[in-house]
Amino acid sequence: MTTKKKFYVTTAIDYPNAEPHIGHAYQKIVADVLARWHKLLEDDVWFLTGTDEHGKKIQESAEKSGKTPKEFVDKMVLKFQEAWKSLNIEPNRFIRTTDKDHEKLVQEFIKKCNKNGDIYKGFYEGLYCTPCEAYYTEKDLINNECPFHPGKKITSIKEESYFFKLSKYQKFLLEHYKKYPEFILPAERRNEIIKRVEEGLKDLSISRTSFSWGIPFPLDKKHIVYVWMDALYNYISGSGKNQKYWPADIHLLGKDNSWFHCVYWPAFLKSAEYKLPKTIFVHGFLTFNGQKISKSLGNVISPKFLAEKYGADAIRYFVCRQFPFAEGDDGDFSEKALIDRYNNELADKLGNLISRVSTLIEKNGIEKTENKLLKKLKLKEIEKLFNNYELDKSLNDIFAFIDECNSYIQNKKPWETKDKKVLYEVADSIKTIAILLWPFIPETSEKIAKQFGFKIELKEIKKPLNEKNKIVKGEILFKKI
């Protein structure tokens, strides 16, 4: 019996101080697509997402709402879980940093780092951005403001703190980046990190005393754990029973989180004698209809609202097709562009193919034959693109084959010839299309599989479609907008 290959994908965990938006959803959709692709490959898949529930920002938001921090996060977390459910995002675990197993592991890690001589007591004095929950130096600021929160006040703080010897790991980090270039992707982000680390690293303040909402610091009861020293460990505490899936194969995160994950995280892991993740993939930000995503946009950026308006599969398809994820660039979630792709690609190309073929088969039936049409599909190329995170290009190749199928039907005219072999070839090709599209549009693919009588499994691609399947005309998959 062969052991299945492991695949462990994580996302950043979100601050539940405000409701989820389409920017959060982009990352979770991509993670779900990758998880589903590896399920097709029959890998042993673990997909983790969740919420980051400690820190000053959460405490302040709770106070404004008249709730305790725990009451506040309990209510907000449900909104994130509902949002991901509405988009058919199916993590193996939704971790919360208030989970008891997570809190226990964080304290154990700090003790390990301390045992290895990497923690000491001192005073922190400097600049702090509460929305980022991050420390900054003067040179990090743009016009004396946080680079990620312009207009927000940078706080000057001084307090007793425990420090992690981050400076000790500069050489280790630079050597690791060089030896394993796939550790930080894409290359542009890797080069940014290397440049900053080469400039030198300061030791990191890892405890706070000025507020109380956090995990108790195991070395001193007067302190709580700094939120990043807490949050990053979710990837291990959430990695299955007995940490079965660690190390992660890929961490997905936005570029505002790159420093914490690419510098702090590997240093923490090295200190505590843990293996490092294989890849940290840093993607770009989304705007919405040309506007920066913010609370003022309100309900229109809600993933649940958008899923109800356009359908989960339409949102999933659009974000993977519209934005070149592998390049890590920013993108704009334009409703006009979504509607264009929905009508021109999902409705006119895929939906029309399924409708025409199933209607003709219901009338005429099919007759098994060699499927020469399927040879036009670039299956190896699609697999390669998937493995390189080029999701937009893999969809482009799948839809190029859908175009081939539509052209084949148009040229062969089976509504005139009643050619059952032609209809078989196209039906068999539809099987392959639906399986390859399942990671992106699972609901639609499952409808097609039920209608044409096959299973969503990669090995089904190599099996010819059963000509005895009763294929009938189904519902319209994508009604034009």
Enzyme catalytic residues: 21, 24, 129, 132, 146, 149, 292, 295
User: What is d(CA 408, CA 376) in angstroms, rounded to the nearest whole number?
Assistant: 11
**Count of Cβ atoms closer than 10 Å to residue 151 Cβ:** 7
Strands 331-333 and 286-288 turn out to be parallel
3-class SS letters over the chain: CCCCCEEEEEECCECCCCCCCHHHHHHHHHHHHHHHHHHHCCCEEEEEEEECCCCHHHHHHHHHHCCCHHHHHHHHHHHHHHHHHHCCCCCCEEEECCCHHHHHHHHHHHHHHHHCCCEEEEEEEEEEECCCCEEECHHHCECCECCCCCCCCCEEEEEEEEEECHHHHHHHHHHHHHHCHHHEECHHHHHHHHHHHHCCCCCEECEECCCCCCCECCCCCCCEECHHHHHCCHHHHCCCHHHCCCCCCEEEEEHHHHHHHHHHHHHHHHHCCCCCCCEEEEECCEEECCEECCHHHHHHHCHHHHHHHHCHHHHHHHHHHHCCHHHCCCEEECHHHHHHHHHHHHHHHHHHHHHHHHHHHHHHCCCCCCCCHHHHCCHHHHHHHHHCCCHHHHHHHHHHHHHHHHHHHHHHCHHHHCCHHHHHHHHHHHHHHHHHHCCCCHHHHHHHHHHHCCCCCHHHHHCCCCCCCCCCCCCCCCCCC
Tokens 């409701």 correspond to 19
| 32 within 8 A of 89, measured Cβ to Cβ | yes
* Cα 336-340-345 angle, rounded to 5 deg: 155
412 vs 462: CA distance, rounded Å: 24
